[in-house]
């Protein structure tokens, strides 16, 4: 499928494009990238940005001798550069941009994972561009994803994007190192990421970037596994965006395994273990099966099992003596909270619990019919 046919894409922009030549943030490449994003938005394609560049942008504000800066110095650079990076993006858009700083620890924690997912959903519903970076100032090595290529792949999974577009300063994956072999050829399609493909990737030669081709291939591997097509293209070339807009592939495309939907269903159905069951009334059964709706608290009649927010749970019809499972999904509430809101309308959740993180108990995006 051509990139412009997708509904939701994650675009990863590397440090070399945000803060080229280590001279702070620049609009040199971002102008064309933002133009492309604006066209996507006009065509009703939702865009989530994963932007690097905070360390590179903050570099000149933190003294650091001539060698590699210390971790603390890099974290300080990120603290300075992050706001400059976000401000730099905002100037290219009429709609609002937002900042999400996350770490691997956040993505591993079920509740925080769900919160990130919900926040992204609401931002996109409100036509706000989410701009994500790793929270470099707080993340210690073991809590980090470490590079934004892999972070972008994880974000694409959380956001259930259809495609991941990695913008770099190289054209894509070559059959030999183009810096050394003059007739190295660009590989336009990679249907399977094999050991040989990994071997084609060297590290980075840009002192301001963290990843290189190998982290990009890791990201493509992760994303394709989850049904997300991945592209690596050269974001320094404005003509690359024109090619993408024409529905062509100017770089390297990695083809996803199966569709996003089947990958998600497989994950929900098979990988996630159910921790409880909600018994629901006929109205809820109809809403789920016939209207593709979300599950609301009003239809819940009984709760089986103890589980926390973010758990996978199943749904069955209360008057079915066999309790055949009709759906499975991710629950927005713990079993304790659910016991207090079952049978009430969503408008009353806040009065009963004192907070209302979600009107739905299982959002339709997180639900599969069985
Ligand atoms: N989070 C880092 C930054 O903003 C970038 C990591 C990467 O380029 O992969 O500078």
Position 68 confidence tier, pLDDT thresholds 50, 70, 90 = confident
Residue 51 CB less than 6 A away from ligand 1: no
Residue 209 CB less than 6 A away from ligand 1: yes
Task: State the pLDDT at residue 294.
Answer: 96
pLDDT (tens digit, 9 = 90+) per residue, 27-49? 999 999 999 999 999 999 999 99
**210, pLDDT greater than 50:** yes
Q: Which residues, at least 6 apart from 182, have a Cβ–Cβ distance to it below 8 Å? A: none
CA 52, 53, 55, 58 torsion-angle sign: negative
Task: From 25, 88, 133, give the residue whose CB has the most ligand 1 atoms within 8 Å, as the site to mutate.
Answer: 133
Atom index in ligand 1 nearest the CA of residue 149 equals 9
pTM for the model stands at 0.84
The token pair that represents 231 in the structure block? 């592209």
φ, ψ dihedrals at 17, nearest 5°: -95, -35
Mean pLDDT in residue range 184-204: 87
Question: Looking at residue 268, what DSSP letter applies?
Answer: I
CATH fold match for the domains 3-260 and 272-369: no
248 or 272: whose pLDDT is higher?
248
Residue 206 CB less than 6 A away from ligand 1: no
CA R_g for the chain: 22
Q: In whole angstroms, what is the distance from residue 175 CA to residue 182 CA?
A: 11
Residue 366 CB less than 6 A away from ligand 1: no
Q: Which residues, at least 6 apart from 247, have a Cβ–Cβ distance to it below 8 Å? A: 2, 3, 4, 5
Question: Please, are residues 131 and 86 in contact by the beta-carbon 8 Å criterion?
Answer: yes
Q: How far is the CA of 370 from the centre of ligand 1 (A)?
A: 41
Q: Which residues, at least 6 apart from 133, have a Cβ–Cβ distance to it below 8 Å? A: 50, 51, 52, 54, 82, 85, 99, 100, 101, 148, 151
pLDDT (tens digit, 9 = 90+) per residue, 1-17? 788 889 999 999 999 99
Residue 53 CB less than 6 A away from ligand 1: yes
Residue with tokens 């090619």: 243
Candidates 118, 127, 117, 100; CA nearest to 41 is 127
Q: For the structural domain made of 272-369, what CATH number should be given?
A: 2.30.130.10
Task: State the pLDDT at residue 208.
Answer: 47
Q: In whole angstroms, what is the distance from residue 72 CA to residue 132 CA?
A: 21
The alpha carbon of 224 is separated from its chain's Cα centroid by a whole number of angstroms, namely 13
Atom index in ligand 1 nearest the CA of residue 136 equals 1
Residue 211 CB less than 6 A away from ligand 1: yes
pLDDT (tens digit, 9 = 90+) per residue, 309-358? 999 999 999 999 998 999 999 999 999 999 999 999 999 999 999 999 99
What percentage of the chain reaches a pLDDT higher than 90? 76
| Strand duo 46-51 + 97-102: pairing | unpaired
Task: From 19, 54, 55, 214, give the residue whose CB has the most ligand 1 atoms within 8 Å, as the site to mutate.
Answer: 55
Mean pLDDT in residue range 144-152: 92
The alpha carbon of 181 is separated from its chain's Cα centroid by a whole number of angstroms, namely 35
Residue 77 CB less than 6 A away from ligand 1: no
Candidates 3, 12, 103; CA nearest to 49 is 12
Q: How far is the CA of 256 from the centre of ligand 1 (A)?
A: 25
Ramachandran category for residue 355: left, alpha or beta (phi over 0 → left; psi -120 to 50 → alpha): beta
In 43-109, alpha helices (H): 54-58, 71-90, 104-108
Residue 204 CB less than 6 A away from ligand 1: no
Query: Which sequence spans correspond to the domains of the chain?
Result: 3-260, 272-369
Structural fold of domain 3-260: Carbamate kinase (3.40.1160)
In the chain the first and final C-alpha atoms are separated, in Å, by 28
Residue 335 CB less than 6 A away from ligand 1: no
């Amino acid at each position: 499928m051509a990139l412009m046919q997708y509904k939701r894409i994650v675009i990863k922009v590397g440090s070399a494009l945000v803060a080229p030549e280590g001279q702070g943030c620049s609009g040199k490449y971002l102008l064309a990238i933002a133009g492309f994003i604006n066209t996507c938005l006009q065509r009703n394609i939702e865009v989530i940005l994963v932007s690097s560049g905070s360390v590179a942008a903050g570099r000149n504000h933190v003294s650091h001798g001539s060698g590699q800066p210390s971790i603390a110095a890099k974290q300080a650079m990120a603290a300075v550069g992050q706001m400059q990076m976000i401000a730099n993006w905002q100037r290219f858009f009429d709609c609002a941009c937002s900042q999400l700083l996350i770490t691997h620890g956040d993505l591993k924690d079920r509740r925080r994972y769900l919160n990130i997912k919900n926040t992204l959903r609401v931002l996109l519903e409100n036509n706000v561009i989410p701009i994500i970076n790793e929270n470099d100032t707080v993340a210690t090595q073991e809590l980090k994803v470490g590079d934004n290529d892999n972070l972008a792949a994880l974000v694409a999974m959380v956001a259930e994007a259809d495609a991941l577009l990695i913008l770099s300063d190289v054209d894509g994956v070559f059959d030999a190192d183009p810096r050394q072999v003059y007739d190295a050829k660009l590989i336009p399609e990679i249907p399977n990421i094999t050991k040989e493909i990994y071997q084609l990737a060297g590290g980075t030669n840009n002192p301001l970037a963290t990843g290189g081709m190998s982290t990009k291939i890791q990201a493509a591997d992760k994303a394709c596994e989850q049904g997300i097509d991945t592209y690596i293209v050269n974001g320094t070339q404005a003509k690359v965006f024109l090619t993408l807009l024409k529905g062509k592939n100017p770089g390297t495309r990695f083809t996803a395994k199966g569709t996003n939907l089947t990958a998600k269903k497989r994950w929900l159905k098979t990988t996630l273990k159910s921790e409880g069951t909600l018994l629901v009334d006929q109205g809820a059964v109809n809403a789920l099966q016939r209207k593709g709706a979300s599950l609301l608290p009003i239809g819940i009649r009984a709760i089986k099992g103890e589980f926390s927010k973010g758990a996978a749970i199943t749904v069955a019809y209360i008057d079915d003596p066999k309790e055949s499972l009709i759906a499975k999904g991710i629950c927005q509430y713990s079993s304790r909270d659910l016991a207090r809101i079952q049978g009430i309308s969503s408008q009353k959740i806040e009065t009963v619990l004192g907070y209302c993180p979600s009107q739905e108990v299982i959002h339709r995006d997180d639900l599969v019919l069985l």
